[in-house]
Structure 1
Amino acid sequence: MSTMTLPETDVRPETTEQTQDDRPEVFHYVQKDKIAESAVMGTYVVALCGEVFPVTKSAKPGSPVCPDCKKVFEGLPPGGGDDD
């Protein structure tokens, strides 16, 4: 298993357009600076849980968050890894 170094950016929830089974739709944490690019250009983003998808929706307050993304996010240092 390889180790991934996260960039010094904030994250916010985004979602996949559909689920592949009967699980409810959840929103994923992705790099904040990649959201607009993905939404406009259709490029793919990588969520903290490892899921890869184009951004198609924004999360609304109270939306369900991917439990795996949430675990990773809670383990990040305060400030998203910004040491300044």
Structure 2
Amino acid sequence: MTSPDLLERPDLKDADTSKDDEVFHYVRKNQIAESAVMGNMVVALCGETFPVTKSPKPGSPVCKDCKEIYNSLPKGGKD
């Protein structure tokens, strides 16, 4: 998986507890729309599995594991 395959902003995994526990996860771009419409499950970089239900707002908390994995991936792009 290369970084162009990943969403530039993370998506949310709803927590069953308070909103303080909500964090956004990085998932593949091509899975987001289908998950949001059809309710299909997506797998985040950290391994969490969930349906996409919300979009993040600037400053939203990001899963620490997803962020570390994303930052360690080679950055794709054309030279």
In the alignment, structure 2 segments of 5+ residues that lack a partner are none
Aligned pair partner of 1:45 in 29, 42, 45 = 42
Distance 1:66 1:17, change over 3 A: same
- Higher normalized helix content (fraction of residues): 2
Q: How does 1:1-84 map to 2 (within 5 A)?
A: 6=1, 9-11=5-7, 12-19=9-16, 24-79=21-76
Query: Structure 2: how far apart are the matches of 1:16 and 1:67?
Result: 13
RMSD of Structure 2 on Structure 1 (CA): 2.4
Work out the number of aligned pairs and report it.
77
Runs of 4+ in structure 1 over 6 Å off = none
In the alignment, structure 1 segments of 5+ residues that lack a partner are 1-5
Query: Structure 1: how far apart are the matches of 2:38 and 2:46?
Result: 22
For 1:31, give the aligned amino acid: R
The normalised TM-score by structure 1 is 0.78
Query: Structure 1: how far apart are the matches of 2:67 and 2:54?
Result: 18
The normalised TM-score by structure 2 is 0.82
For 1:47, give the aligned amino acid: A
Kindly state the Cα deviation for residue 29 of structure 1 after the two structures are TM-superposed: 0.3
